[in-house]
Structure 1
């Protein structure tokens, strides 16, 4: 028996995620950043230096995708890499002042996407949706923190 995909949570989350990702990528074009690159700048800026593996996990991308994002950010002088004192060959990625400034500008651009999506909800529904999504994420083992 086939099920209508619109009746499945996974399908709906994927459709919403896809639509919001496209909107974010469009919003970030003026500053020439991808969503993953913005994630690197913001997470490093908020939580301090991290390895590429940690950032990949937190951004939900593969190690290869993270390596590409990190290289592009480093080429633009938006991040710096330095040896991790406790982990042998691992490198820590840290946001530079220029990267922090660009992240602030990029977050302003992306805020419009967030506001547009939230405007589609009834008053009070945004907080409830956030609570439910966090419960799902936590229950499935995702942690936005370190």
Structure 2
């Protein structure tokens, strides 16, 4: 299994470099482009949800949303289900940019997969979906991760 972990580590490092390059070219930071693409796929979200998704504090996401709003990419609206909170949504301009960002990523992933058998790519998609769900669940279990890190330090 360590071979898969090494390859995944390589994919994550390449993905980080890719995201940094693309964000720089559109004049945004990686967290801002992540927010835009997340909103494209998930729809309007609370700032706290976006903070968790991007991995920053609520104060940091507020600053990022301020920049995105100033640039005309997002708008904050009252949450119809909870008047005490707001939802962040894409503007038409933001939707266009997020759509272009994801379309480019989609094409680059397709190029990376090359002419792999469609059944293989479908299976890879299922595996990656399961893996991302598992890692997301694991990330929320900070006590278990801390215990595992402590235990591995004793060995």
- TM-score where L is the length of structure 1: 0.71
1:44 is aligned to: 39
What are the ranges of 5 or more consecutive residues in structure 2 without an aligned counterpart?
138-155
Per the TM alignment, residue 99 of structure 1 is displaced from its structure 2 partner at its CA by 0.8
Task: Tell me the CA shift for residue 27 of structure 1.
Answer: 3.0
Query: Which structure 1 segments of 5+ residues have no match?
Result: 1-5
**Residues 121-136 of structure 1: pairs in structure 2 closer than 5 A:** 122-124=116-118, 125-136=120-131
Q: 1:102 & 1:96 partners in 2: Cα distance?
A: 10
Identify the residue that residue 15 of structure 1 maps to in structure 2. 10
Shift of 1:10: 4.2
Aligned match of 1:63: 57
Preserved contact between residue 56 and residue 63 of structure 1 (Cα < 8 Å): yes
Aligned partners of 2:67, 2:22: CA distance in 1, in Å?
19
Contact conserved, 1:84 with 1:92, CA < 8 A, in 2? yes
Structural RMSD (CA): 2.8
How far apart, in 1, do the equivalents of 2:41 and 2:104 lie? 18
Is the alpha carbon distance of 1:72 and 1:127 closer, same or farther for their aligned partners in structure 2, counting shifts above 3 Å? Answer: same
Q: Is the 8 A contact 2:34 2:54 kept in 1?
A: no
Query: How far is the alpha carbon of 1:93 from its aligned partner?
Result: 0.4
Q: Which residue of 2 aligns with 1:74?
A: 69
The structure whose residues are more often helix, as a share, is 2
Where relative contact order (Cα < 8 A, 6+ residues apart) is larger, the structure is: 1
Superposition deviation, residue 12 in structure 1: 3.7
- Give, in angstroms, the shift of residue 60 of structure 1: 4.4
SS at match of 2:31: helix
Count residues with an aligned counterpart: 135
Name which one, 1 or 2, has greater alpha-carbon Rg: 2
Larger deviation, residues 38-47 vs 11-20: 38-47
Q: TM-score, normalised by structure 2?
A: 0.67
CA contact (8 A) 1:78 1:98 kept: yes
**Aligned partner (choices 85, 107, 111) of residue 106 of structure 2:** 111
| CA shift in 2, pair 1:88/1:10, >3 Å | farther
